[in-house]
Copies of this chain bind each other. A is one copy, B any other.
Amino acid sequence: MANITKKVSWSSRHDEPGATGEGTPLLNGSEQPRYSRQLSGGGIFQIGRLSTVDLDEEVASDQDHLRSRPKEIPHNEKLLSLKFESLDYDNSENQLFLEEERRMSYIGFRCLEISRWVVCGLIGFLTGLIACFIDIVVEQLAGMKYQVVKQNIEKFTEVGGLSISLILWAVLNSAFVMVGSIIVACFEEGPMIHSGAVVAAGVSQGRSTSLKRDFKIFEYFRRDTEKRDFVSAGAAAGVSAAFGAPVGGVLFSLEEGASFWNQMLTWRIFFASMISTFTLNFFLSIYNDKPGDLSSPGLINFGRFESDSVEYNLYEIPLFIAMGAIGGLLGALFNVLNYWLTIFRIRYIHRPCLQVMEAMLVAAVTATVSFAMIYFSNDCQPLGPDHSEEYPLQLFCADGEYNSMATAFFNTPERSVRSLFHNQPGTYNPLTLGMFTLTYFFLACWTYGLAVSAGVFIPSLLIGAAWGRLFGILLASITSSGSIWADPGKYALIGAAAQLGGIVRMTLSLTVIMVEATGNVTYGLPIMLVLMTAKIVGDYFVEGLYDIHIKLQSVPFLHWEPPATSHWLTAREVMSSPVTCFNRIEKVGTIVDVLSYTSTNHNGFPVVMHHAASDEPAKLCGLILRSQLIVLLKHKVFVELARSRLTQRKLQLKDFRDAYPRFPPIQSIHVSQDERECMMDLTEFMNPTPYTVPQETSLPRVFKLFRALGLRHLVVVDDANRVVGLVTRKDLARYHLGKHGLEELQLAQT
Contact = CB atoms under 8 A, between A and B. Distances in A.
Nearest to A568: B102
A619 B720 CA distance: 9
12 contacts: A93-B698, A258-B261, A260-B707, A260-B708, A274-B524, A292-B315, A294-B314, A297-B521, A519-B521, A519-B522, A619-B719, A719-B721
A720 B720 CA distance: 5
A541 interface: no
Nearest to A524: B246
A314 to B, nearest CB: 4
A698 B91 CA distance: 11
Given A266-B508, A521-B297, A565 B259 contact: no
B260 A261 contact: yes
Among A98, A520, A701: residue with most chain B CB under 10 A? A701
Interface string A129-141: 0000000000000
A344 interface: no
Given A258-B261, A521-B516, A98 B311 contact: no
Tally of this chain's copies: 2
A707 B515 CA distance: 32
A292 B314 CA distance: 5
Given A313-B292, A524-B274, A106 B564 contact: yes
Interface string A287-305: 0000111110100000010
A282 to B, nearest CB: 7
Interface string A81-101: 000000000000100011001
Enumerate the 9 nearest inter-chain pairs by beta-carbon distance, A residue then B residue, closest first. Answer: A708-B708, A292-B314, A109-B564, A260-B260, A101-B567, A689-B697, A295-B311, A263-B560, A292-B313
A278 interface: yes
A264 interface: yes
Interface residues of A, number: 89
A335 interface: no
A504 interface: no
A697 B277 CA distance: 42
A682 B409 CA distance: 72
Interface stretch (A204-212, A247-255, A425-433, A445-453): A247-255
Given A247-B247, A621-B719, A689-B694, 6 more contacts: A105-B565, A244-B521, A250-B508, A264-B561, A274-B529, A294-B314
Contacts of A251: 247
Contacts of A511: 247, 270
A524 B276 CA distance: 13
Nearest to A248: B247
Contacts of A688: 694, 696
A619 B307 CA distance: 69
A271 B104 CA distance: 45
Given A312-B295, A313-B292, A511-B247, A261 B264 contact: no
Interface in A214-247: 244, 246-247
Given A106-B741, A567-B93, A689-B693, A294 B255 contact: no
